[in-house]
């Protein structure tokens, strides 16, 4: 299908032990051959790893000692001939080999282009391609297994099933239109098509119900830990991390004063907002200003508000209590190992903790799980829909189907009904990447990393 052969560095750039340069396309093998000083990989069996050396064809100079995987179409990642060169991991060597491949006739791959080819060559559908991106960006065990299920085609299978059932309805309508001798249209719609449509509607709703949990599993719960200075925010964070052997998997500054970090706590991923503020023992409201903290609070799906049991409530405590009043919030009454001086009757529903005695953390975790109805998140057998694009499309398809159902109920002409039904079928197809526009495809795949 594609005339050109692409090449890209598939491993992270930096000084690793090895780097992998991937070449894909109809000339992948002959282009690589040009760097092998007469050796012919066409003679290698498919799906073998071959030891050898890369040479600069112009100077004859040896560039690196390598292992070369040869995989012939169609049983490869892109469904094209694929060669993967495992070289020593230095930036210089890796770039040099890529450069030589480009001189030998390959074109440098765009981000996500290998995966895009896998999709366009029909090896995976679009939902599966998007799962590959999710695997790369997975932040927790859950989001990883979710993504693996996606690559495995679970969502795709459910969507395909729905489409087949919709197609069945369309076929019934068409038969009715084509053979007017069965012209008791009304009877057919109410007795046959309506129950079928309702059944599909139920399936769509059921899958959509998994979206909330799916997105939480995928992206974590956006959490802000707030409280005035010295109440124990940093201690709480450390406790969450240490106690559950959680790891901070990613702390990357997005802007100078907002830092996000992910911690995995007992099967939950908390996507912490403004970790920097917490770490520096600074008070969120004072340090970054009321406007900014309001913004953080509005972005948060969960607020952990920490109060100090040992001291009476301050104005600032009251302000924070009020500010978070309507949010999903857990109030943490910390330092319960010390004398209680706080006005407990003024505080709604709180959890008592002592970071010193290591008490209350489990309770906290359980409340979070309860709050987000994550009772059975351990079970990855369930299929969750978690990709925002898929969710949006599924909602659209549901709306169309419901329009059709309404039309059936009031006895509209069957070809009017058919328009909405066909629309639902079409929209579901977009989840799988059917009839999807080039612009959207480019946008989706450009979010991938280079070499993927």
| Rounded least distance, CB 308 to Zn ion, Å | 12
CA-based end-to-end distance of the chain: 19
- Cβ(11)–Cβ(451) under 8 Å? yes
**Applying CB under 6 A, does 235 fall inside the site for ligand GDP?**
yes
Q: 228 labelled as ligand-binding? A: no
Q: Between residues 145 and 235, which has the closer beta carbon with respect to ligand GDP?
A: 235
- Non-local (6+) Cβ contacts of 30 within 8 A are 42
Residue 250, sorted as left (phi over 0), alpha (psi -120 to 50) or beta, turns out to be beta
Q: Are strands 350-352 and 329-334 parallel, antiparallel or unpaired?
A: parallel
DSSP state of 312: P
Site for ligand GDP in 253-282 (CB under 6 A): 278, 281
The residue among 335 and 452 lying less far from ligand GDP, judged by its C-beta, is: 335
Q: Determine whether the annotation assigns residue 452 to a binding site.
A: yes
Residues 265-304: x where in contact with Zn ion by CB under 5 A, - otherwise, as a string = ----------------x-----------------------
- Are the C-beta atoms of 353 and 333 separated by less than 8 Å? yes
Provide the token pair at 54: 């890369």
- C-beta closer to ligand GDP: residue 86 or 354: 354
Count interface residues toward ligand GDP (CB under 6 A): 17
CB of 283 to Zn ion, least distance (A): 9
Residues 6+ apart with CB under 8 A from 16: 89
Q: Are 236 and 225 in contact (CB under 8 A)?
A: yes
> Exposed, middle or buried by CB within 10 Å (0-12, 13-18, 19+), for 343?
exposed
Contact 339, 308 (CB under 8 A): no
- Distance of alpha carbon 302 from alpha carbon 300, whole angstroms: 5
Residue whose CB is less far from ligand GDP, 110 or 337: 337
Give residues 200-229 in contact with ligand GDP (rule: CB under 6 A).
227, 229
Our finding on whether 393 is near Zn ion (CB under 5 A) is: no
Report how far residue 270's alpha carbon sits from residue 367's, in angstroms, rounded to the nearest whole number.
Answer: 13
Name the one range near ligand GDP by CB under 6 A: 77-85, 178-186, 213-221, 349-357.
Answer: 349-357
Q: Which stretch binds ligand GDP (CB under 6 A): 47-55, 173-181, 293-301, 332-340?
A: 332-340
356 binds, among ligand GDP, Zn ion, none (CB under 5 to 8 A by kind): ligand GDP
Q: What are φ and ψ of residue 223, in 5° steps?
A: -120, 135
334 contributes a contact to ligand GDP by CB under 6 A: yes
Nearer to ligand GDP, 198 or 338 (CB): 338
- Reduced to 3 states (helix: H, G, I; strand: E, B; else coil), residue 161 is helix
Q: What is the three-class DSSP state of 224?
A: strand
Which one of Zn ion, ligand GDP, none is in contact with 429 (Cβ closer than 5 to 8 A by kind)? none
Binding site for ligand GDP (CB under 6 A): 227, 229-235, 278, 281, 334-335, 337-338, 354-356
Binding site for Zn ion (CB under 5 A): 233-234, 281
The binding site for GTP comprises: 230-235, 249-255, 274-277
């Amino acid at each position: 299908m594609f005339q050109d052969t692409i090449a890209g560095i598939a491993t992270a750039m930096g000084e690793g032990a090895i780097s992998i340069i991937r070449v894909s396309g109809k000339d992948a093998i002959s282009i690589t051959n040009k760097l092998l000083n007469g050796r012919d990989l066409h003679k290698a069996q498919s799906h073998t790893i071959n030891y050898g050396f890369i040479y600069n064809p112009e100077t004859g100079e040896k560039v690196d000692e390598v292992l070369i995987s040869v995989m012939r179409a169609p049983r490869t990642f892109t469904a094209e001939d694929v060669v993967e060169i495992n070289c020593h991991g230095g930036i210089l060597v890796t770039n040099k080999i890529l450069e030589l491949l480009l001189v030998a006739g390959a074109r440098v791959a765009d981000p996500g282009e290998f995966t895009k080819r896998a999709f366009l060559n029909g090896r995976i559908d679009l939902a599966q391609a998007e799962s590959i991106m999710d695997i790369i960006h997975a932040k927790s065990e859950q989001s990883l297994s979710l993504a693996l299920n996606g690559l495995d085609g679970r969502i795709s299978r459910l969507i395909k099933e729905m489409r087949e059932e919709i197609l069945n309805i369309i076929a019934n309508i068409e038969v009715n239109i084509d053979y007017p001798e069965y012209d008791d249209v009304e009877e057919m719609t109410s007795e046959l098509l309506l129950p079928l449509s309702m059944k599909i509607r139920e399936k769509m709703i059921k899958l959509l119900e998994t979206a909330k949990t799916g997105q939480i599993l995928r992206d974590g719960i956006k959490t802000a830990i707030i409280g005035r200075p010295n109440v124990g925010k940093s201690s709480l964070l450390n406790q969450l991390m240490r106690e559950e052997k959680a790891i901070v998997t990613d702390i990357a500054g997005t802007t100078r004063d907002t830092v996000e970090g992910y911690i995995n706590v007992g099967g939950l991923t908390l996507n912490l907002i403004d970790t920097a503020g917490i770490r520096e023992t600074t008070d969120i409201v004072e340090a970054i200003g009321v406007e900014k903290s309001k913004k953080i609070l509005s972005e948060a799906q969960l607020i952990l508000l920490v109060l100090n049991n040992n001291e009476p409530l301050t104005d600032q405590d009251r302000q924070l209590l009020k500010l978070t009043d309507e949010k999903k919030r857990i109030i943490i009454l910390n330092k319960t190992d010390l004398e209680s001086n706080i006005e407990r009757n003024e505080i709604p529903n709180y959890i008592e903790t002592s970071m010193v005695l290591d008490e209350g953390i489990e309770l906290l975790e359980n409340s979070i799980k309860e709050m987000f109805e994550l009772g059975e998140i351990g079970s990855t057998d369930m299929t969750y829909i978690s990709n925002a694009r898929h969710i949006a499309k599924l909602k659209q398809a549901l709306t169309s189907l419901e329009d059709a159902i309404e039309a059936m109920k009031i006895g509209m002409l069957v070809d009017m009904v058919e328009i909405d039904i066909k629309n639902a079928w079409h929209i579901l197809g977009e989840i799988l990447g059917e009839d999807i526009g080039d612009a959207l495809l480019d946008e989706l795949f450009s979010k991938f990393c280079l070499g993927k």
